[in-house]
Structure 1
Amino acid sequence: MSLNKLNQLYRAVVLDHASHPHHKNDLADATQSIELHNISCGDDIRVFVKITTNKVEKISFTGNGCTISQASASMMTDALTGVPITKALEECDAFFQLTMGQTVPTTTQNDLGDAAILGSLAAFPARIKCATLAWHAAKTALGGEENEYNNFE
């Protein structure tokens, strides 16, 4: 696929998720929720997770932000819904690796679904915070990292 067609595909996928986000709603029966802020871009994300039997039964988000943060949050909810917690944490880490320009196995990229396309953001360091904000919130809600701060910097 030519670079131009790849760029068009990237734009189409990101814009579709940002314009029509999946699972963008409060989750009344959430067992965990966390809100994080990206002060460098102004993104605000609250992630809601319903965990049952060591599995992410449901995950959703609310908030406002740039196109990349909203699209990434939508992609994250698709990737983590119905996944065992240990696998969800691994997928969060894989997403962080991709956005930092590191290689992850093809099977893991497939598990990330549309979110794998955001690996190209490694070339744009200022946008990495936007893309990873919801994933940090999800990882924290799943008990995989501690965020004692309210502002993601």
Structure 2
Amino acid sequence: MTTNNQPTDAPKTKTMKVELNRVDDAFHFEATGLSDVPIHIDGAVDIGGHNAGARPMELLLMGLASCSAIDVILILNKQRQRIDDFRITVEGVRPLDVNPAPFSTINLHYILKGDISEDKARRAIDLSMDKYCSATAQIRPTAQITYSLTIEAA
């Protein structure tokens, strides 16, 4: 007998919860999630923010980069690739003078250092972008997401 009124073949779900608390009388907030690690968020100075945290749209790009980074590192580790350093720079393009102003294009530039096959790195990134990264799946319907790759010798 099902007590939650969902069909037994319904997909399993997981609820994610964060809390946002206002820190000052302007736009400085502190957010916490499951890890209980505080993240500071603030508005731009030109609207009254104080540069006391990341901007909300920056957090979207950071989330996208970190989601993909976890995937790529896990995949490369399984492929026994030696990663000495791992960085991603992300550039997102948004329209000016319109609201809302979602990203239209986003490019992630992966910079890996170590004994890493370029083919394996590209395959790992492709798997992240096309199969595993939930942030990519969330953003892709409204933004064209591309990537580039640099592998630096160990």
TM exceeding 0.5: no
TM-score by length of 1: 0.27
> Computing the radius of gyration over CA atoms, which structure comes out larger, 1 or 2?
2
Higher fraction of helix: 1
TM-score, normalization by structure 2: 0.26
Which is strand-richer, 1 or 2? 2
Q: Name which structure has the greater RCO, CA cutoff 8 Å, separation 6+.
A: 1
